């Protein structure tokens, strides 16, 4: 479905993505995992065409989106759903209106049909009858569900999730994880989930790609990642305070790593 080839991106002098190669399979859940600042969101922004790389290609169904103009990108993006890191619902709009937004923006469906679609999407995320409520009246987990209903409003083939569990308690997070897995299966969606939560990754992933300092240092199934000999991967999994991720650096070394 998606092939990333030799993707590199530099901000200023800083290499944020370095020769990323990854194949994302249709209908599967691919988890992109790694610590804060390793380049996960930047990679995601390239996949939706919001950023252009310095080098490399992103083939979606055989077409390189890094070479597309805005017009063709817009067409491509209609196949995508996106759950942003902040989840960002519009507080002045009801739950139903929030979910209806992409339908109003990208389709010419009339209000009656939109209402029906919104109802269906809210049902899919377990929020039947929540249309009239406002974001301020619902919990953080429910807001994520609404954002999820909005992400699937246009029946996307691919859904990108940036830290779907951020700011949620562990139980609510596992409920959202289960929902992501269920929706992927039920709607045959190709899902790309960015997270730094090991537990989420090990619950939902068909495939995990571990990113460290802008590079993919390991990728494979859950058991392949669990059995990886890579020291960074092992430290990340075990959450241990000592290892390559937390090696003490001199001020000079640290400064050099920033440039
Ligand atoms: N537009 C930008 N300009 C300059 N630096 C950026 C920009 N976006 C991200 N970065 C830097 O790139 C690195 C990776 O960021 P990001 O992809 O957001 O990490 P993650 O999502 O893994 O936490 C960070 O050091 C961040 O400060
Ligand atoms: Mg991020």
121: which residues sit within 8 A by CB, 6+ positions away? 99, 149, 150, 152, 153
The residue contributing the CA closest to ligand 1 atom 4 is 11
CA of 31 to the centre of ligand 2 (A): 13
Query: Does the C-beta of 30 come closer than 6 Å to ligand 1?
Result: no
pLDDT at 113: 96
CA of 234 to the centre of ligand 2 (A): 21
pLDDT at 252: 87
Distance CA 192, CA 205 (A): 9
Query: Does the C-beta of 244 come closer than 6 Å to ligand 1?
Result: no
Question: How many residues are listed for the chain in this entry?
Answer: 259
**C-alpha angle with apex 170: 124 to 245, nearest 5 degrees?**
120
**C-alpha angle with apex 89: 172 to 132, nearest 5 degrees?**
90
CA of 186 to the centre of ligand 1 (A): 33
The 3-state DSSP class for residue 222 equals helix
pLDDT at 13: 85
Mean pLDDT on 87-113: 93
Q: Reply yes or no on whether the pLDDT at 255 is more than 90.
A: no
Q: Reply yes or no on whether the pLDDT at 120 is more than 90.
A: yes
Residue ranges and CATH numbers for the domains of the chain are: 1-79+158-221 (3.40.50.300), 89-155 (no CATH)
Strand order in the sheet with 158-162: 80-83, 158-162, 190-195, 29-33, 207-212, 215-220
Q: Which of 34-38, 137-141, 198-202 shows the lowest per-residue confidence on average (mean pLDDT)? A: 34-38
Q: What is the 3-state secondary structure (H, E, C) of 155-207?
A: CCCEEEEECCCCCCCHHHHHHHHHHHHHHHHHHCCEEEEEECCHHHHHHHCCE
CB-facing half-sphere around the CA of 136: CA atoms within 13 A: 3
pLDDT at 205: 97
For the CA of 211, the nearest atom of ligand 1: 22
Query: Does the C-beta of 7 come closer than 6 Å to ligand 1?
Result: no
Write the CA distances from 147 to 46, 60, 143, 177, integer angstroms.
Answer: 21, 24, 6, 14
Token couple for 19: 């020769």
Token couple for 75: 């067409």
Residue 243 is given by DSSP the state: S
CA of 34 to the centre of ligand 2 (A): 10
**C-alpha angle with apex 60: 217 to 164, nearest 5 degrees?**
60
Which band of pLDDT confidence, cut at 50, 70 and 90, is reported for residue 52?
very high
pLDDT at 246: 84
pLDDT at 183: 93
pLDDT at 84: 82
pLDDT at 259: 66
Mean pLDDT on 139-163: 94
Mean pLDDT on 236-250: 86
For the CA of 35, the nearest atom of ligand 1: 22
Query: Does the C-beta of 20 come closer than 6 Å to ligand 1?
Result: no
Q: Reply yes or no on whether the pLDDT at 108 is more than 90.
A: yes
Residue range 208-242, pLDDT digits in tens:
999 998 999 999 999 999 999 999 999 999 888 88
Token couple for 132: 């009239």
pTM of the model: 0.91
Q: Reply yes or no on whether the pLDDT at 87 is more than 90.
A: no
Q: Give the count of beta carbons closer than 10 Å to the beta carbon of residue 144.
A: 27
Residue range 174-213, pLDDT digits in tens:
999 999 999 999 999 999 999 999 999 999 999 999 999 8
Query: Does the C-beta of 41 come closer than 6 Å to ligand 1?
Result: yes
């Amino acid at each position: 479905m998606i092939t990333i080839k030799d993707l590199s991106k530099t901000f200023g002098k800083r290499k944020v993505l370095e020769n990323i190669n990854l194949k994302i399979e249709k209908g599967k859940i691919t988890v992109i995992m790694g610590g804060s600042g390793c380049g996960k969101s930047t990679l995601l922004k390239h996949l939706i065409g919001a950023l252009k790389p310095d080098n490399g290609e992103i083939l979606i169904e055989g077409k390189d989106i890094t070479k597309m103009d805005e017009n063709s990108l817009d067409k491509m993006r209609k196949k995508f759903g996106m759950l942003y890191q902040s989840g960002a619902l519009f507080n002045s709009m009801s739950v139903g209106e929030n979910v209806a937004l992409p339908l109003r923006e990208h389709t010419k469906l009339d209000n009656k049909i939109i209402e029906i679609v919104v109802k269906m999407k809210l049902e899919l995320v377990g929020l039947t009858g929540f249309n009239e409520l406002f974001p301020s009246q619902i919990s953080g987990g429910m807001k994520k569900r609404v954002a999820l209903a909005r992400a699937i409003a246009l029946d996307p083939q691919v859904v990108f999730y940036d830290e779907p569990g951020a700011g949620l308690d562990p139980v609510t997070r596992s409920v959202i994880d289960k929902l992501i897995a269920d929706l992927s299966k039920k709607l045959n969606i190709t899902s790309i989930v960015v997270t730094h939560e090991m537990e989420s990754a090990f619950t939902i992933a068909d495939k995990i790609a571990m990113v460290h300092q802008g590079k993919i240092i390991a990728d494979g199934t859950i058991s392949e990642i669990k059995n990886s000999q890579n020291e960074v991967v092992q430290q990340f999994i075990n959450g241990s305070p000592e290892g390559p991720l937390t090696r003490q650096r001199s001020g000079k070394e640290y400064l050099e790593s920033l440039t």
